[in-house]
Homo-oligomer: A and B are copies of this chain.
Amino acid sequence: MTAKSEDIAPEHRSEAQPGITSPWNRPQKRRTQPALSREQIVAEAFALLDSDGIEALSMRKLGARLNAGATSLYTHVANKEELLALVVDHVFGELPLPRVTGAEDPEVWRAAVMESCEAMRATITRHPWMVSVMGDVGMIYLGPNWMRLSEALLAVAETAGFEFSEANDMMSVAMGYTIGTACVEAAWLSALTRSGQSEQEFMAQMMPAVIEATKGHPRLHRLYTTHVPDEIDEGRDSSFRRGLTMILDGIEARRSKA
């Protein structure tokens, strides 16, 4: 489990009693198998990102959490960017795959796409550091979990009767909207988290700046002062769902026209 002193409790490490060798501090049976693994590293990086955010993830801190040296990680991971790519795909692994069976029914495929998009959005907003990461990591669209999800969505669209290129269009529109919206929301949420305040407090504190900034912009002024406050949290959920519904309407209309 640990790397520096395998299977020995911390209080019995050789550093604690230098020079003396006893049955308790003598390193025994060292490393029959690698102490670190890629999965372990990715999982711990994930946990660190979730608890302390993106700026807290350094190779040294991650190594420390694994009871390992910073440079040990490089035998399992090429560099930090690759690690981040692995973590992102790991997160996508949390997402449930949409059900394909029965997708001939418009109600069913719409619900399937809707659920997938909502799950994706929930995942991104639950792990707001993903927004920073996705910008730095160019290639995440070849990760196994992302591919599984894409394939399943294409299968849903195909079963629903979409032409191949239509299915592709549908998927990129729905996912594009989902990712864009979720990223904007996540940026807000991570600013919120960094401030350490509740959303109400944060907005109250932000209010003077908002009023100043919306000077000369009556519609935005109205939007920020009257519209936002009364639908603070699930307002975002329903807004997202409304948008996605409109998009699916557009997709369906286009198909029935053809």
User: Interface of A with B (CB < 8 Å)?
Assistant: 131-142, 144, 147-148, 150-151, 154-155, 158, 164-165, 167-169, 172-173, 175-181, 183-184, 187-188, 190-191, 194, 209-210, 213-214, 217-220, 222-223, 227, 239, 242-243, 245-251, 253-254
Evaluate contact between A176 and B184: CB separation under 8 angstroms. Answer: yes
Task: Tell me the dominant secondary structure on chain A's binding face.
Answer: helix
Q: Which 6 A-B pairs have the closest CB atoms?
A: A180-B180, A138-B191, A250-B250, A132-B135, A176-B181, A246-B250
Chain B residues in 8 Å Cβ range of A227: 164-165, 168
- One complex includes copies of this chain to the number of 2
Evaluate contact between A147 and B217: CB separation under 8 angstroms. Answer: yes
- Closest CB of chain B to A54's CB: distance in Å? 8
Chain B residues in 8 Å Cβ range of A181: 172, 176, 180
- Residue of B135, B147, B155, B220 near A187 (CB, 8 A) is B135
